[in-house]
Amino acid sequence: MGERLIVALSGGVDSAVAALLLKRAGHELEALHMSNWQEDEAGYCAAAADWQDARLIAAELRIPIHHVSFATEYRERVFSHFLADYAAGLTPNPDILCNREVKFGVCLDYARRLGGTALATGHYARLATLEGRPRLLRARDADKDQSYFLQAMPRQALQLARFPLGELMKTEVRELARVAGLPVHDRPDSTGICFIGERPFKAFLETYLAPRPGPIETPAGERLGVHDGLMYHTIGQRQGLKIGGLAHHGAEPWYVAGKDVGRNALIVVQGHHHPRLLSVAFATGPVAWLAPVPAAGVELRVQVRHRQAAVPCGLTLAAGGARVELSERLRGVAPGQHAAFYALDECLGGGVIVATECDERAALDASAA
């Protein structure tokens, strides 16, 4: 007899196949569909449609399904921080916070109250127990790997999580769904964050954060234009600056290189590979470790975006954070992003980037050229 599991059934193909595989493996299975966002009038968040699809999947698999709303918890633990970070000029990742606070926080607790021994999800990641402890590993499908988004989940949740898709390629998942006759086998993958949906990001933020215009400047302090608000821009961004065709500056496009929050100034440079866009090191806040702190000599890699290749790094821990020295320059690293640390395929944990460092000599030379 298998485990008594609760599967988080979102209404998409991934969680549907996760449920299919667990049922075939002989587990006693019930589904849980959670709503984290109240449907808005414009209909950008398809929460109602997701619930209907989840019900159809549960009916096809003949498993009970529960519905619960964590909208209040999501707003308090995720969305409020999302807005505060953007207002402070940061570039947050709410999906990472959602996994920690909601999916493997209140949702996992709810699943345990339903009698589940563990919570299964459709994440593309693997779990393994080695040397007596659970470890979070990258998925077999490197393009779909979601271990980066799981870097901050509570360490104790590793023992209570199940990721049935970790060894599968996305093409195999869709084929399993098609052959099984699951009604969502050809449903497009969801992209972005539910509460934003397909609407323009700036338009969404404007409903919560009022525009706050300020100067657009070069690193030397030359004023080039006016921005609508620091929260509408991130490091490395090109679009939306509206400062092309400036005399004495040539034809190369401009990119966001920094934010002076105190003066509400947006700092820009010319050229896709300007040294101010390329970080050689960065600092993080406290690191949330899923594994023991790596010993000296362990070869570490760091990843600062989903689907970005992890690069070798040096790690120096200090009170309240860490300093990360990069083996190669990374473009567009921004405060507020999360840095995940890996040893081979194992995700060891991660922390929020609080400051970045570029090659100052190269940056000065480029600005003077």
- 52: tokens are 């209907």
Catalytic choice (98, 313, 347, 358) = 98
Q: What is the pLDDT of residue 196?
A: 67
Nearest to 170 by CA among 139, 198, 200: 139
Helix (H, G, I), strand (E, B) or coil at 74: helix
Name the one residue in this structure whose structure tokens are 């657009």: 216
Q: Which residues contact 295 (CB under 8 A, 6 or more apart)?
A: none
Question: Above 90 in pLDDT, residue 201?
Answer: no
C-alpha to C-alpha distance for 255 and 270, rounded to whole angstroms? 6
Q: Which residues contact 161 (CB under 8 A, 6 or more apart)?
A: 104, 108, 118, 119, 120, 121, 127, 153
Q: Which residues contact 23 (CB under 8 A, 6 or more apart)?
A: 29, 61, 63
Question: Above 90 in pLDDT, residue 200?
Answer: no
pLDDT band, very low/low/confident/very high, at 83 (cuts 50, 70, 90)? very high
Strands (E), the chain: 4-8, 28-35, 65-69, 118-120, 126-130, 133-137, 161-162, 214-217, 223-227, 254-260, 265-270, 278-284, 288-289, 300-303, 311-318, 321-331, 338-343, 346-358
Name the one residue in this structure whose structure tokens are 């398809």: 46
- Nearest-5° Cα angle at 367, 366 to 369: 65
Q: Which residues contact 200 (CB under 8 A, 6 or more apart)?
A: none
pLDDT band, very low/low/confident/very high, at 202 (cuts 50, 70, 90)? confident
Read off φ and ψ for residue 74, nearest 5 degrees.
Answer: -65, -45
pLDDT band, very low/low/confident/very high, at 47 (cuts 50, 70, 90)? confident
Tell the burial category of 114 from Cβ atoms under 10 Å away from its Cβ (0-12, 13-18, 19+): middle
Integer-rounded Cα Rg, in Å, for the chain is 22
Rounded average pLDDT over 44-56: 85
pLDDT band, very low/low/confident/very high, at 369 (cuts 50, 70, 90)? low
pLDDT in tens, 84-107: 999 999 999 999 999 999 999 999
C-alpha to C-alpha distance for 198 and 264, rounded to whole angstroms? 29
C-alpha to C-alpha distance for 308 and 295, rounded to whole angstroms? 25
Question: Above 80 in pLDDT, residue 55?
Answer: yes
This prediction's pTM: 0.94
pLDDT band, very low/low/confident/very high, at 363 (cuts 50, 70, 90)? confident
Residue 347: active-site member: no
C-alpha to C-alpha distance for 125 and 107, rounded to whole angstroms? 19
- 160: tokens are 């209570």
Helix (H, G, I), strand (E, B) or coil at 292: coil
Rounded average pLDDT over 30-34: 97
Residue 358: active-site member: no
Q: 55 and 30 in contact (C-beta within 8 Å)?
A: no
Range scoring the smallest mean pLDDT among 43-57, 150-164, 276-290:
43-57
pLDDT band, very low/low/confident/very high, at 238 (cuts 50, 70, 90)? very high
- Residue 133 region by backbone torsions, left for phi larger than 0, else alpha for psi between -120 and 50, else beta: beta
Rounded percentage of the chain residues whose pLDDT exceeds 90: 81
**All domains in the chain, ordered by first residue:** 4-179 (3.40.50.620), 212-270 (2.30.30.280), 276-368 (2.40.30.10)
Task: Give the pairing type, strands 346-358 and 288-289.
Answer: antiparallel
pLDDT in tens, 2-24: 899 999 999 999 999 999 999 99
Task: Report, in this order, helix, strand and coil percent for the chain, each rounded to 5.
Answer: 30, 30, 45
What is the average pLDDT value for the chain, to the nearest integer?
A: 93
- What is the DSSP secondary-structure string of 86-105? HHTT----HHHHHIIIIIII
Rounded average pLDDT over 328-352: 97
- 180: tokens are 């099984």
Q: 137 and 126 in contact (C-beta within 8 Å)?
A: yes
Side chain identity at residue 119, one-letter code: L
pLDDT in tens, 127-169: 999 888 999 999 999 999 999 999 999 999 999 999 999 999 9
Catalytic choice (194, 313, 347, 358) = 194
pLDDT in tens, 293-332: 999 889 999 999 998 999 999 999 988 999 999 999 999 9
